[in-house]
């Protein structure tokens, strides 16, 4: 289909294409152009916005940020809050008694326990102690390493979410919406703030090699944003980024020559169609070429001193382990990656919770604490925000058979715990309260949208201003919700 001006005298196929027309060319062609621009800028301040030098949007960050980057330790499956951070001694008194109807208050249950005839209270079998100068309660039996860095940590005990099953709940945390298709939080930050480096992506996702609920690439996708903002997945093993290395028989010189020819053909296609995604394709080919050098150097941890492996634990040498991913997260942060997200599965404890919790914490406690300590000793914690948490919590009532040493818990979206450290967050404190059953929020609720708004705020972004027009509507990560949780900020 021809554009309206095509075929007219003086028409230039590239300059007059609406997708590629420059501001200067537009002003030169438009009658009374300056008046039009003035009116347009009053109606929409980003009408003629272009990318800033680092690939982000002009005017972003909106104010001085506390954090430059985020490391998000996502614990997929739903960690049990009352067995980790939300200490409830009252449960010892009512153990094995029925949860009162007044606690349920007509709330829906999952299909896995809705048919139970009995909902007995399951107390936690673990030892809780206060840690740090702030005296924050936590399960020191399975998290002794985290207890040592609690002066840097803020535990939010009053998180709540809308979703009750894994996939929509994880999707909600990633994109602010339960249905797939919207940009992930890392993609939003890449779009708004751009990159801090030239040889690595702005957004990297890593998954531990342990089993559990499935994870999908769309969880770190770009949705309707330009595809260059999607997260790049790093895996364990010989090839951390799939298809990055040259195939057998192809030298770097030949690879460079091939990319030059492909870029020339893409530029010809762009001249014909003016599709911005073609430019994205060209830039991503170039990024991949540079990553052939930067990624092997990044993932080769042999240059780390022995003290680092003592800090992160013996698994830190094993590619694909949570400990190794935490170490790589620090190395990525050092190299200017904007958003780093680790996904660790296995927290879905419907049964055999005590033993599963011990295994999970044995794999995650030391590396998580080590990351905080490592960042602090390098002077990076003050401008690196670390976030830890899953997609929901667990029920106070038992699921399945309960014995003196065993119990299980179902999904629970009404209240659960997460923690944050560094990057402008107050350490050595907890925020929010739940009832005696850790079933309902009693004080200072924090929604997923509130969490997103707070993360963006710490990066200098007003969550109401970071928008993208798609299908006639301006979308944002927090949709029409969200407020910054100011009491936890420095």
Task: Determine the average pLDDT of the residues in 418-426.
Answer: 98
Beta strands 339-344 and 69-75: pairing type? parallel
Q: What is the rounded distance in angstroms from the CA atom of residue 36 to the CA atom of residue 28? A: 12
Instruction: Tell me if 156 sits within 8 A of 446, measured CB to CB.
Output: yes
Q: Which pLDDT belongs to residue 34?
A: 52
Q: At residue 443, what are phi and psi to the nearest 5 degrees? A: -160, 135
The angle subtended at Cα 59 by Cα 58 and Cα 62, nearest 5°, is 145
For 332-346, write each residue's pLDDT tens digit: 999 999 999 999 999
Average pLDDT, the chain: 89
Confidence category of residue 248, pLDDT binned at 50, 70, 90: confident
For 275-284, write each residue's pLDDT tens digit: 877 777 777 6
Q: Which pLDDT belongs to residue 237?
A: 67
Given a cut of 50, whether residue 380 has pLDDT beyond it is yes
Q: What is the rounded distance in angstroms from the CA atom of residue 315 to the CA atom of residue 319? A: 8
DSSP 262: H
Q: Which pLDDT belongs to residue 113?
A: 94
Q: At residue 214, what are phi and psi to the nearest 5 degrees? A: -65, 150
Confidence category of residue 460, pLDDT binned at 50, 70, 90: very high
Q: Which pLDDT belongs to residue 7?
A: 47
Greatest CA separation found in the chain? 87
Instruction: Tell me if 340 sits within 8 A of 385, measured CB to CB.
Output: no
Q: What is the rounded distance in angstroms from the CA atom of residue 490 to the CA atom of residue 481? A: 23
Q: What is the rounded distance in angstroms from the CA atom of residue 395 to the CA atom of residue 379? A: 39
For 150-190, write each residue's pLDDT tens digit: 999 999 999 999 999 999 999 999 999 999 999 999 999 99
For 94-134, write each residue's pLDDT tens digit: 999 999 999 999 898 999 999 999 999 999 999 999 999 99
Q: Which pLDDT belongs to residue 50?
A: 56
Q: What is the rounded distance in angstroms from the CA atom of residue 391 to the CA atom of residue 408? A: 18
Q: What is the rounded distance in angstroms from the CA atom of residue 338 to the CA atom of residue 173? A: 18
Beta strands 433-434 and 441-443: pairing type? antiparallel
Q: What is the rounded distance in angstroms from the CA atom of residue 456 to the CA atom of residue 475? A: 15
Instruction: Tell me if 397 sits within 8 A of 119, measured CB to CB.
Output: yes
Q: Which pLDDT belongs to residue 250?
A: 75
């Amino acid at each position: 289909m021809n554009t309206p001006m095509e075929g007219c005298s003086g028409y230039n196929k590239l300059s007059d294409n609406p997708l590629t027309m420059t501001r200067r060319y537009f002003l030169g062609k438009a009658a009374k152009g300056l008046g039009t621009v003035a009116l347009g800028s009053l109606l929409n301040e980003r009408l003629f916005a272009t990318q800033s030098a680092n690939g982000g949007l002009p005017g972003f960050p909106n104010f001085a940020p506390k954090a430059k980057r985020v490391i998000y330790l996502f614990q997929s499956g739903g960690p049990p809050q009352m067995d980790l951070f939300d200490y409830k001694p009252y449960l010892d008194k009512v153990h094995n008694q029925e949860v009162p109807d007044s606690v349920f208050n007509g709330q829906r249950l999952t299909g896995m326990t809705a048919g139970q005839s009995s909902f007995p209270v399951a107390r936690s079998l673990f030892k809780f102690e206060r840690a740090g100068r702030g005296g924050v309660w936590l399960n020191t039996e399975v998290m002794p390493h985290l207890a040592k860095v609690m002066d840097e940590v803020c535990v939010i005990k009053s998180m709540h979410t809308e979703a009750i099953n894994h996939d929509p709940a994880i999707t909600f945390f990633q994109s602010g919406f339960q249905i797939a298709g919207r940009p992930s939080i890392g993609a939003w930050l890449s779009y708004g703030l751009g990159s801090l480096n030239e040889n690595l992506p702005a957004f990297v996702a890593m998954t531990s090699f342990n089993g559990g609920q499935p994870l999908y690439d769309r969880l770190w996708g770009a949705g309707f944003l330009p595809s260059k903002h999607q997260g790049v997945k790093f895996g364990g093993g010989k090839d951390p980024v799939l298809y990055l290395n040259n195939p057998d028989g192809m030298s770097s010189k030949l690879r460079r020559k091939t990319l030059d020819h492909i870029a020339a053909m893409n530029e010809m296609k762009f001249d014909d169609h003016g599709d911005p995604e073609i430019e994205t394709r060209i830039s991503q080919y170039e990024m991949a070429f540079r990553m052939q050098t930067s990624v092997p150097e990044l993932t080769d941890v042999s240059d780390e001193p022995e003290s680092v492996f003592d800090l992160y634990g013996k698994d830190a040498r094993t590619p694909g382990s949570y400990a190794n991913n935490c170490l790589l997260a620090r190395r990525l942060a050092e190299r200017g990656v904007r958003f780093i997200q680790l996904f660790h599965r296995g927290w879905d404890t419907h049964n055999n919770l005590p033993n599963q919790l011990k295994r999970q914490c044995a794999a995650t406690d030391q590396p998580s604490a080590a990351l905080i300590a490592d960042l602090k000793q390098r002077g990076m914690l003050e401008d690196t925000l670390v976030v830890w948490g899953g997609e929901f919590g667990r029920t106070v009532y038992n699921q399945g058979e309960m014995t003196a040493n065993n119990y299980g818990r179902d999904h629970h979206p009404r209240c659960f715990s997460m923690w944050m450290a560094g990057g402008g967050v107050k350490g050595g404190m907890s925020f929010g309260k739940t009832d005696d059953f850790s079933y309902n929020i009693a004080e200072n609720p924090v929604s997923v949208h509130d969490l997103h708004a707070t993360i963006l705020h710490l990066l200098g972004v007003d969550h109401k201003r970071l928008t993208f027009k798609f299908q006639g509507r301006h979308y944002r990560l927090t949709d029409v919700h969200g407020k910054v949780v100011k009491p936890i900020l420095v």
